[in-house]
Amino acid sequence: MSTPTTNLMTAEEFFDWANRPENRDRHCELVRGEIVEMSLPGKRHGFVCGNIARILGIYTALRKKGYVCTNDTGTVVERDPDTVRGPDVMLFEDVTNYDELEIKFAEEPPLLAVEVLSPNDKPAEVRERIAQQLQFGTRWVWVVDPSKRNVTVYRPGQEPYVVAENEELTGEDVLPGFRCRVAEFFAFPGQS
């Protein structure tokens, strides 16, 4: 007895679907060919993402290398069936100018993917997203927890570790020279 097959969507079809006028306000990802709708993040989540993007943007500008993407930029992390994830913030070094940037989803892994936890995130789903990013070739994943005010750092083949609010997060060999206190991710201008 065979099971009925469903038409799984490709990353390219998903991009076109997501950019239709009737779908532009929806927050979705493609998971193994199927559209998964997600809740919209709140203001605190956006604030933390903005701080992280600003800090990483300053780092890339001073270094004159790399660039930052935000707003859940789609990244194709699996093919056949396709999975498109949208980390909150990513740092890339795959191209050197605006004209080389892909118009659709990223096909190359970022150096760093940052997931900022939302109150409704399920631990199993977060673990799956981390695993997919690392298997895709992302060298570093930060999971930022606004409630606990800490960052859990994931690298392929290594045990994750937690950096507390009052501690310094360094770039190790992935982001040479990068340093910031985790508290900066949660601070208003003039505070830290």
Residue 11 lies in a domain: no
CA dihedral sign of residues 89, 112, 23, 120: negative
CA gap 105, 79 in Å, rounded:
13
Strands, sheet with 67-70, edge to edge from the N-terminal-most edge strand: 67-70, 89-92, 112-116, 140-145, 150-154, 161-164
Q: Give tens-digit pLDDT for 90-131.
A: 999 988 899 999 999 999 999 999 999 988 888 999 999 999
Residue 13 lies in a domain: no
72 pLDDT band, cuts 50/70/90, is confident
CA gap 35, 81 in Å, rounded:
12
Range of the domain at 126: 40-186
Looking at this protein, which amino acid is placed at residue 9? M
- Number of domains within the chain: 1
Residue 134 lies in a domain: yes
pLDDT recorded at residue 6: 66
Residue 69 lies in a domain: yes
Residue 166 lies in a domain: yes
Q: Give tens-digit pLDDT for 45-62.
A: 999 999 999 999 999 999
pLDDT at 191 over 80: no
Token pair in block for residue 143: 């999971």
Q: Which residue has the higher pLDDT, 38 or 145?
A: 145
Residue 142 lies in a domain: yes
Residue 2 lies in a domain: no
* pTM exceeds 0.75: yes
Residue 119 lies in a domain: yes
CATH number at residue 109: 3.90.1570.10
